[in-house]
């Protein structure tokens, strides 16, 4: 615990305590029967009772809830107040953040955006936005959670008027938890199918294959135009037919796994195999989360580290394949003309916010379980380096394999894999099918894929449940409160997921991915987070609070980013996104109907409108002039732990208040 420092007395936000020689009073985090009465809503003087052993009737003082800059309301923590859990060791927090932030996005989203946006040129806007947007907000969310010791909703007690930010992040993370797990269900399906002597996606002799299926593309034999009508291999296909030929892995993905229909308006029947896989994954997530951070902190040690072992093995195998060099060069060599396209910058910003898990509230929840004086500033840089480094490393693995597939099919690298999550279910399975003992490698890869997504998923659920439980303080304590809350969350998401295991499920999945937890919503969320902390609460004031926690002031760059640079970046990319908006398509062929886009915009607006609607509602409900309403609603509500960590020791009170008798009233500031 950090040393408690004496604070100067102030004209407001004061707690008056009477100390007696016989019965010294100690401040505790809800222990020992100490109770902090919540302040009245109108900012009046409120009696504060602190019970002490042997003090008849307790000791009564007053807490002035004023509107001064450093004022605040002390949040009640009665006898039922439950002390917040903390990580068993600090490495639990690091591994949980690595597990959450390093996920499927690093494997299939980042490489896909790379080849879509001109290869290596994508790294330029990516790295730029990391330093002006990613790291500052990543640090902001972790430090805010650690400072307020609350989940994504109650953390905004730092400026109660903007509590809508908490509700917005809860909506986003709920949608994200709902659709993200589908990738895990597909991965689990592939994992089960891997336990066969011959991988089902390696041949064309299956019921789901079409006459266009061909296992080996003989492009070398077709280079001479005079042989255009010669039959190639044993497939009875001519060179002219080769252009329309399809790989067995693509047919397995589209015809067997998805069994995809013609559009969103044709949901078709449910895939019972996928339903069982989905159910199994949700059960797995439930038992990872149900006991809280004490259990999740241990599980992530395995789920966060094992994928790196498999990625290294796949890279070694990938670079030895023919065509790998061309693929890696496509990844590294930038196409400078792409920098002129707004979409490249939009995708870079979107990827940063998605990959760093910004705006979802889960980082805030993880930070809230830290010790109060943990060095979260250093943690933020370590985690950012690991996250971006993994994305960059995974790109080499993917592009070495894409280069091989392009060489095999005789096409440009950008045409090898279809867009979307299919990259992980087309390029990677193709690579493992070419290795000796293919089923073993396939099982290993999809087990890694499952672990990559699993820790991201259960930490996302943890963040959502933490935010919900924080709304019900200790007086609502129930022995199995957490277990019940997690069960309800998982069940509700599972019911929604049933729409994604139909034949039209892929179209529903893309709606969620494109609108609910993608660029627009995360940029909007990040913009308001910066505005509230930097301009409503005060950037300098929050930097002081961070210094109080970690023992030194962070580099001023953070403050400049929160105040000016990051909000401008966020709103700039947000506006670019609106101006350059294009209707959603699937594989650049199927265009969504108008009512499908309406559903998508409803998903996006359901979180984005939480902030302005909540703000207006609170302002209209409050009393007084606009200035009085604003002052009251932006006064922070402090938790009991702020008293414990920020208040001076009772024994030193007499020394800081000269001329006052030991039995007289001692005054000290109750908040920062």
- Coil vs helix vs strand at 164: helix
Rounded to the nearest angstrom, the gap between the alpha carbon of residue 6 and the centroid of all alpha carbons in its chain is: 38
SS3 sequence of 114-139? HHHCCEHHHHHHHHHHHHHHHHHHHH
Q: Could you tell me which residues come within 8 angstroms of residue 425 by beta carbon, excluding any fewer than 6 positions away?
A: 186, 187, 190, 253, 257
Low-confidence winner among 292-296, 354-358, 553-557 (lowest mean pLDDT): 292-296
Find the range with the poorest average confidence among 146-155, 223-232, 294-303, 629-638: 223-232
pLDDT tier at 218 (50, 70, 90 boundaries)?
low
Cβ-contact 65, 635 below 8 angstroms: yes
Average pLDDT of the chain?
77
Alpha-carbon span 664 to 131, nearest angstrom? 53
Give 82-85's long-range contacts (Cβ < 8 A, gap of 24+). Answer: 82/30, 82/473, 82/474, 82/477, 83/29, 83/30, 83/31, 84/149, 84/368, 84/369, 84/641, 85/292, 85/293, 85/294, 85/369
Is residue 671 pLDDT above 60, yes or no?
no
Neighbours of 203 (CB within 10 A): 14
Q: Which residue has the higher pLDDT, 645 or 316?
A: 316
In angstroms, the CA 511 to CA 496 distance is 13
For position 229, what pLDDT does the model report?
A: 54
Tell me the binding residues: 99, 101-102, 106, 355, 387, 452, 455-456
Residue 62 has a CB neighbour count (10 Å cut-off) of 13
Q: How far is the C-alpha of 114 from the C-alpha of 332, rounded, in Å?
A: 10
Stretch among 145-159, 196-210, 267-281, 656-670 having the lowest mean pLDDT: 656-670
Mean pLDDT of 311-333: 85
Q: What is the DSSP string of 546-582?
A: HHHHHSSPPPTHHHHIIIIIHHHHHHHHHHHHHHT--
Residue 659: pLDDT band (50, 70, 90) is: very low
Residue 636 has pLDDT above 70, yes or no: yes
Region 63-79: mean pLDDT is: 46
* Secondary structure of residue 109 in the 3-state scheme: helix
pLDDT for residue 356 is more than 90 = no
In this model, does residue 50 exceed pLDDT 80? no
Given this model, what pLDDT does residue 139 score?
94
Report the distance separating Cα 298 and Cα 663, nearest Å: 50
Count the alpha carbons within 13 Å of 547 in the hemisphere toward its beta carbon.
Answer: 15
Most confident of 88-97, 118-127, 263-272: 263-272
Query: Residue 216: what pLDDT?
Result: 73
Measure Cα distances from 93 to 229, 290, 380, 573, 589 in Å: 63, 17, 11, 31, 43
Please report which residue ranges of 194-271 form alpha helices under DSSP H: 239-242, 248-251
Which of 342-346, 420-424, 460-464 has the highest average model confidence (pLDDT)? 460-464
pLDDT of residue 455: 83
pLDDT at 488 over 70: yes
| Average pLDDT of the segment spanning 568-585 | 85
Q: Which of 32, 31, 30, 37 is nearest to 15 (CA)?
A: 37
pLDDT at 66: 39
> Which residue from 580, 577, 639 is spatially nearest to 604, judged by alpha carbons?
577
The maximal CA–CA distance of the chain, rounded, in angstroms, is: 109
Of the listed ranges 132-136, 140-144, 473-477, the least confidently predicted one is 473-477
Residue 310 vs residues 181, 215, 439: alpha-carbon distances, Å: 21, 26, 15
- Cα distance between residue 416 and residue 304, in whole Å: 29
Distance CA 208, CA 200 (A): 10
Helix axes 164-193, 422-433, angle to 10 degrees: 30
Percent of the chain with pLDDT over 90: 25
Tens digits of per-residue pLDDT, 528-555? 999 999 999 999 999 999 998 888 899 9
Helix H, strand E, coil C: the string for 342-355 is HHHHHHHHHHHHHH
pLDDT classification of 184: cutoffs 50, 70, 90: very high
- CA–CA separation, 567 and 155 (whole Å): 20
Q: Measured between alpha carbons, how far is 291 from 298 in angstroms, rounded to an integer?
A: 11
Rounded Cα distance between 512 and 597, Å, is 11
Name every residue whose Cβ is closer than 8 Å to that of residue 78 and which is 6 or more positions away in sequence: 30, 35, 474, 475
CB 137 within 8 A of CB 563: no
What is the model's pLDDT at position 3? 37
Contact call for residues 357 and 109 (beta carbons, < 8 A): no
Q: Please say whether the beta carbons of 156 and 436 come within 8 A.
A: no
pLDDT at 436 over 80: no
Give the bridge partners for 15, in sequence order: 63, 668
Instruction: State the pLDDT at residue 212.
Output: 82
* Residue positions forming the annotated binding site for Na(+): 99, 101-102, 106, 355, 387, 452, 455-456
CA angle 289, 518, 501 (to 5 degrees): 65
What residues does 62 pair with on adjacent strands?
Answer: 47
Q: Residue range 635-659: average pLDDT?
A: 58
Domains of the chain: 90-210+246-619 (1.20.1740.10)
Q: How confident is the model at residue 418 (pLDDT cuts 50, 70, 90)?
A: low
DSSP state of 14: E
Query: DSSP characters for 446-492?
Result: HHHHHHHHHHHHHHHHHHHHHHHHTTS-GGG--TTHHHHHHHHHHHH
Q: Residue 496: its pLDDT value, please?
A: 94
pTM of the model: 0.79
Q: Is 275 exposed, middle or buried (0-12, 13-18, 19+ CB in 10 A)?
A: middle
- Asked if 106 and 357 touch (Cβ cutoff 8 Å), the reply is no
Residues 253 and 506 sit within 8 Å (Cβ to Cβ): no
Give the CA distances from residue 418 to residues 116, 246, 325, 413, in Å, rounded to whole numbers and listed in that order: 10, 12, 21, 11
In terms of average pLDDT, the best of 27-41, 54-68, 229-243 is 229-243
**How far, in Å, CA of 62 to CA of 530, rounded?**
34
246 DSSP β-pair partners: 213
pLDDT at residue 648 is higher than 50: no
Q: What is the pLDDT of residues 383-398, one digit of tens each?
A: 999 988 888 888 888 8
Query: ∠ CA(434), CA(417), CA(430), 5° rounding?
Result: 15
pLDDT at 191 over 90: yes
**Burial readout 116-132 (b: 16 or more C-beta within 10 A, e: otherwise):** ebbbbbbbbbbebbbeb
Euclidean distance between the first and the last CA atom of the chain, given in angstroms as a whole number: 17
Question: Residues 286, 487: contact at Cβ < 8 Å?
Answer: yes
DSSP annotation of 119 reads B
Q: Is residue 236 scored above 70 in pLDDT?
A: no
Q: Looking at the predicted structure, is the pLDDT value of residue 461 above 50?
A: yes
Percent of the chain with pLDDT over 70: 76
Residues 6+ apart with CB under 8 A from 665: 16, 17, 18, 61
CA 318 from centre of chain:
30
In terms of DSSP bridges, do strands 73-74 and 637-638 run parallel, antiparallel, or are they unpaired?
A: parallel
Question: Would residue 472 be called left, alpha or beta, if left means φ above 0 and alpha means ψ between -120 and 50 degrees?
Answer: beta
- In sequence order, what are the beta bridge partners of 433? none
Q: Is the pLDDT of residue 237 over 90?
A: no
| Alpha-carbon distances, residue 396 vs 98, 111, 281 (angstroms) | 20, 9, 29
């Amino acid at each position: 615990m950090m040393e408690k420092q004496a604070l100067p007395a102030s004209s407001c936000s004061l707690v008056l305590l009477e100390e007696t020689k016989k019965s010294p009073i100690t401040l505790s985090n809800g222990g020992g029967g100490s109770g902090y009465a919540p302040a009245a809503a109108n900012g009046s003087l409120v009696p504060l009772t602190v019970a002490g052993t042997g003090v008849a009737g307790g000791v009564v003082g007053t807490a002035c809830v004023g509107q001064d800059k450093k004022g605040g309301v002390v949040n009640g923590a009665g006898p039922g107040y439950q002390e917040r859990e903390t990580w068993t060791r600090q490495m639990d927090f690091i591994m949980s953040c690595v597990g959450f932030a390093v996920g499927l996005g690093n494997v299939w989203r980042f490489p896909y955006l790379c080849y879509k946006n001109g290869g290596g040129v994508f790294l330029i806007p990516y790295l730029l936005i990391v330093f002006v947007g990613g790291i500052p907000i990543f640090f902001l969310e972790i430090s805010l959670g650690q400072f307020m010791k609350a989940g994504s909703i109650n953390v905004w007690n730092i400026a109660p008027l903007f509590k809508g930010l908490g509700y917005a992040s809860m909506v986003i993370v709920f949608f994200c938890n709902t659709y993200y797990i589908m990738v895990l269900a597909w991965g689990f399906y592939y994992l089960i199918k891997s336990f066969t002597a011959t991988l089902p996606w390696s041949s064309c002799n299956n019921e789901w294959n079409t006459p266009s299926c061909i296992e080996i593309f003989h492009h070398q034999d077709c280079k001479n135009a005079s042989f255009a009508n010669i039959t190639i291999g044993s497939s009875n296909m001519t060179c002219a037919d080769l252009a329309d030929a399809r790989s067995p892995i693509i047919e397995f993905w589209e015809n067997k796994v998805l069994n995809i229909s013609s559009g969103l308006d044709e949901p078709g029947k449910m895939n019972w195999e996928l339903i069982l896989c989905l159910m199994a994954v949700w059960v797995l997530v439930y038992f990872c989360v149900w006991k809280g951070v004490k259990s999740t902190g241990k599980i992530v040690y395995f789920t966060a580290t094992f994928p790196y072992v498999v990625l290294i093995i796949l890279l070694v195998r990938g670079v030895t394949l023919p065509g790998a060099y061309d693929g890696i060069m496509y990844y590294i060599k930038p196409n400078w003309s792409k920098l002129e396209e707004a979409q490249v910058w939009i995708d870079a910003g979107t990827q940063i916010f998605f990959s760093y898990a910004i705006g979802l509230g889960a980082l805030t929840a993880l930070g809230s379980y830290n010790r109060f004086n943990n060095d979260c500033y250093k943690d933020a840089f370590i985690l950012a380096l690991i996250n971006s480094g993994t994305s960059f490393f995974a790109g080499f693995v993917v592009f070495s394999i894409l280069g091989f597939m392009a060489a095999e099919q005789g096409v440009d690298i950008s045409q090898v894999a279809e867009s979307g999550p299919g990259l992980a279910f087309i390029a990677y399975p193709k690579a493992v099918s070419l290795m000796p003992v293919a089923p073993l490698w396939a099982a290993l890869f999809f087990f890694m894929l499952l672990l990559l997504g699993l820790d991201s998923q259960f930490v996302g659920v943890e963040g959502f449940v933490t935010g919900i439980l924080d709304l019900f303080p200790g007086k609502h304590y129930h022995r199995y409160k957490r277990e019940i809350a997690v069960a309800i969350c998982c069940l509700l998401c599972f019911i929604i997921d049933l729409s994604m295991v139909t034949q039209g499920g892929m179209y529903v999945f893309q709606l969620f991915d494109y609108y609910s937890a993608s660029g627009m919503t995360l940029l909007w969320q990040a913009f308001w987070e910066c505005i509230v902390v930097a301009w409503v609460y005060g950037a300098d004031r929050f930097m002081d609070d961070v210094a109080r926690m970690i023992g030194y002031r962070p580099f001023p760059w953070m403050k400049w980013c929160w105040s000016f640079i990051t909000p401008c970046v966020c709103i700039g990319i947000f506006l670019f996104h609106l101006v350059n908006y294009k209707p959603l398509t699937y594989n650049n062929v199927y265009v969504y109907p108008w009512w499908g886009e309406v559903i998508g915009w409803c998903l996006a607006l359901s979180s984005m409108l939480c902030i302005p609607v909540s703000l207006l509602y609170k302002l209209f409900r409050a009393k007084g002039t606009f200035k009085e309403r604003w002052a009251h609603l932006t006064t922070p509500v402090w938790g009991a732990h702020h008293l414990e960590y920020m208040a001076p020791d009772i024994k030193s009170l007499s020394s800081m208040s000269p001329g006052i008798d030991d039995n007289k009233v001692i005054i000290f500031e109750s908040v920062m």
